[in-house]
Every structure is written in C-alpha cells, then in structure tokens.
Amino acid sequence: MANVVVVGAQWGDEGKGKIVDWLSERADVIARFQGGHNAGHTLVIDGEVFKLSLLPSGIVRGGKLSVIGNGVVLDPWHLEKEIAQLRGQGVTITPETLMIAENTPLILPIHGELDRAREAQNSVAKIGTTGRGIGPAYEDKVGRRSVRVADLADDATLEMRVDRALVHHDALRRGLGLDPVDRDRLLADLRAIAPVVLEYAAPVWKVLNEKRRAGKRILFEGAQGALLDIDFGTYPFVTSSNVIAGQAATGTGIGPGSIDFVLGIVKAYTTRVGEGPFPAELHDADGQRLGERGHEFGTVTGRKRRCGWFDAVLVRQTCATSGVNGISLTKLDVLDGFETLKICVGYELDGKRLDYLPTAADQQARCTPVYEEMPGWSESTEGARSWADLPAEAIKYVRRVEELIECPVALLSTSPEREDTILVTDPFAD
C-alpha cells in the first residue's frame, strides 16, 4: 500500500510522534494536511533533538520530500524561524525537499491579535486556543478573504487581498477596542517575507499525483485528534479544521481513492487537554495514577491533562468517521500494575443505553459511562517487542479493545523508544 494517513483517534497526544517518525523513515513523501504551527512534536534521531511544530516530520531525514498541503494555515514568519532553527542543526532544506501548496492560506499577525483579544473577552466559555491565529486564519479562508501563498508573487494582487481582509478585520477590531490595522506595515512585512515562502511554493496537488503514479509512498501526517475535528469533535471545544482522514484528500489535492490505509493512533486510556465534555473522566486515585505514569502534562504549558479509562465508545466512533483500517495502540505500559482495569463500553443517558456520543451538548453532559472490568497484570510490558513478551491479561485487554472498537491493532507501542513496537500489520505493505 503506497499511501498511508495517520490520524489521532482521541483528543490528541496519543503518541503520534513516535509512530509518524517510524513510518516516515519508510515513506518517500510526508505531507501535512491540516492545522498550523501547533502540531508540536519532538523527534530524537541519533541522540539529536529536533523540535517541529509546522514542518512535516520527514524534513529531518534526508532524501524525503516534505509537503505542506493547502489544508494547513501557514505563518510565514514561523516558517522562517523553524527553517533557520533546523538548518542550524544541520538539516538541509531546499525546494527539492520542501514544497508548500500555492493555495495555502497565510496566518497574519492580525490573526494572532484577534485570537488573543477574543479569548480575553470571552467570559461565556473559553475554547482554549493557542493564541497563534490559527482559528482566525481558517475563518478568513472560509470568508474568502485570505492572503494565500500565490498572492505573495504579485504586488497588485497582494494589496487587493490585504484590503479585502482589512475591511472585515478593522470592523471587528473596532468592536474589540483594538486599533485599526497598520496597512502599510502589514504590506511591508508581507513583501519582506514573500521570497522566503515563494521559494518553496509549488502545485502540490500535481506533484503528489505524479508521485502517486510513480508508485512513491506517501505518508499523510495528521495533527491533533479526531475528537477535536471541527465537524465530528466535541464542538465548540474543538480545533478549527477537519482532522479526520478525509481531510488528507481535500487538504492536499489527491482523490479519496488514493488513500490505501488509515492508521488511527489510540492511547490505551483516555486524556483530554483543556475544557469540553469527557464522559469517562476520572477524578480519583486511578486518574491521578494514569496521569503520573503516563506523564500526562502539556509539553509547552506543563498543564495537567485530564485522564480516564479507555473509552471504546469514542474510539469506535472515530474509527468509523476516519475509516480507520488499523490502529496503533500506544502507552499500554502505562496500565502495568493496575489490579483491575476498566473500559467504557457505553453511556447511560436518561435511563437508556447509548453506543455513541450524542451531539447535543446537554445530552453529552448527562451521559454517564458504563464500564466493563478486566483483570490487570502485575508484570511490566514496557519495551515488549513481541506478543510473547506480553502477559496473558495484557493480550486479553488488547483483544477486547479490538472487539469493542471494531478495528484491528496494526501496531502496539510499549515505550517511547522507536524499536519498542510490536508490528502486526505493516500499513505500507502491499
């Protein structure tokens, strides 16, 4: 199978970094298809630490083509910084190794300002944005007032695009008590950064289709998780783009039929950062223990992540909406030593049993989890590299997860180390 899409199947932080790195070594092309410079992950290659938040993981490996698809929103100044930082570490980045879709919308400084001004004023319920302007940039895309990569190449077009955006932004800023946008400064900044972006601009849809025809292996690298999807996530506590696997097609310009395998990354328990519904959340010692053993603290903020037992209802749902062919089950080792494990197998809502998460917010809030109990294991699974290394109870737990989510395990991860992975089905295998 030549083309693999990797998506997070919960609320993000499922351990995509390790798996994407593992797969990207075997891919020819690595493409991002949604999100912005908020897809923070750390790669450790031969002892060297690389921090990426915008560029695809493949960039640090020689001989690969990295692609930023049109589904991404691009902050040109961040791009410049990330490229400079990686070059400083000896990574080669050229128009042959990095391509950015010409139809990618830009994140402008005014987007970050808007993000922060709105979040500061929103007393009803905070969505929890990262303040990087990603949400407002997507709003402008749908509002047909984005400045896109291709617009940077022609000054008259650039001015026209900026003026179109400012009609909207100045009105909004007045209402928020912000000064109007300094048009000349914004244009000057864009003219100055234009060559940095244009160097990598390409018709990505065309390049990817040619690569596909030539039999190259393409890895589509998702960010965040399917429960944060703008349509199918726990709206409004979601991200501002589609995250589910279908976005790999629309966010790069390949047909849906060109996706051969969708790999869902699934943590062996559940976590969520920030606000929003989380029916199987634990507030007890078990939740505390999952958080501590799993190091569930935000990488940037250090904020504690909310934790709960594995919620099979949610993962069955995300496997369906992303058409997941196989999952990579991660952090199984975090469950070592629990006497009893619980799995959420359904919800109870007003005396009725549900096998999915309803959409209405009030119903979500009233859903209580129905648990099934399983015996835990006292042995360590950390670093296991074959089924034979796993205790019988751990194998039973994995099998039960597969049954409940109606999707097989393709990969099993038992530590942060790349090699500590049990391969069942190779997503790239023919």
Closest by alpha carbon to 317, among 273, 274, 366, 367? Answer: 367
The contact pattern for ligand GDP, residues 15-44, with x = CB under 6 A and - = no contact, is xxxx----------------------x---
CB of residue 429 to ligand GDP, shortest distance in Å = 22
Q: Which residue, 124 or 300, is less far from ligand GDP as judged by CB?
A: 300
Q: Is 145 in the site for ligand GDP (CB under 6 A)?
A: no
Query: Which one of 146-154, 168-176, 250-258, 411-419 is the stretch in contact with ligand GDP (CB under 6 A)?
Result: 411-419
Q: Is 330 in the site for ligand GDP (CB under 6 A)?
A: yes
Query: Which one of 7-15, 126-134, 154-162, 302-310 is the stretch in contact with ligand GDP (CB under 6 A)?
Result: 7-15
CB of residue 82 to ligand GDP, shortest distance in Å = 16
Query: Which one of 180-188, 210-218, 383-391, 410-418 is the stretch in contact with ligand GDP (CB under 6 A)?
Result: 410-418
Cα-Cα-Cα-Cα dihedral sign, residues 335, 315, 306, 347: negative
Those residues whose C-beta lies under 8 Å from the C-beta of residue 149, and which sit 6 or more positions away, are 74, 100, 101, 102, 103, 104, 106, 197, 198, 201
**Residue 198 exposed, middle or buried by CB count within 10 Å (0-12, 13-18, 19+):** middle
Residue choice 114, 133, 415, 427 for contact with ligand GDP (CB under 6 A):
415
Residue 283 bears catalytic tag: no
Q: Is 296 in the site for ligand GDP (CB under 6 A)?
A: no
Q: What Rg value do the Cα atoms of the chain yield, rounded?
A: 22
Residue choice 5, 8, 52, 261 for contact with ligand GDP (CB under 6 A):
8
- DSSP assignment of 277-332 equals --TTB--SHHHHHHHHHTT-B-TTT-PBPEEESEEHHHHHHHHHHHT-SEEEEE-G
Q: Which residue, 44 or 361, is less far from ligand GDP as judged by CB?
A: 44
Give the start-end residues of each E strand in 177-269.
201-202, 218-221, 261-267
Those residues whose C-beta lies under 8 Å from the C-beta of residue 374, and which sit 6 or more positions away, are 340, 341, 342, 343, 393, 396, 397, 400
Active-site hit among 13, 21, 229, 333: 13
CB of residue 34 to ligand GDP, shortest distance in Å = 14
Q: Is 12 in the site for ligand GDP (CB under 6 A)?
A: yes
Q: Are the beta carbons of 1 and 244 closer than 8 angstroms?
A: no
- Angle between helix 183-198 and helix 76-88 axes, rounded to 10 deg: 40
**3-state DSSP assignment of residue 31:** strand
Residue 350 bears catalytic tag: no
Task: Tell me what percent of the chain is helix, strand and coil, each rounded to the nearest 5.
Answer: 35, 20, 40
Active-site hit among 37, 41, 111, 169: 41
Query: Which one of 12-20, 28-36, 163-171, 202-210 is the stretch in contact with ligand GDP (CB under 6 A)?
Result: 12-20
Residue choice 274, 337, 391, 416 for contact with ligand GDP (CB under 6 A):
416
Residue choice 263, 266, 334, 335 for contact with ligand GDP (CB under 6 A):
334
Q: Which residue, 14 or 115, is less far from ligand GDP as judged by CB?
A: 14
Site residues (CB under 6 A) for ligand GDP? 8, 12-18, 41, 330-331, 333-334, 413-416
> Which residues are tagged catalytic?
13, 41
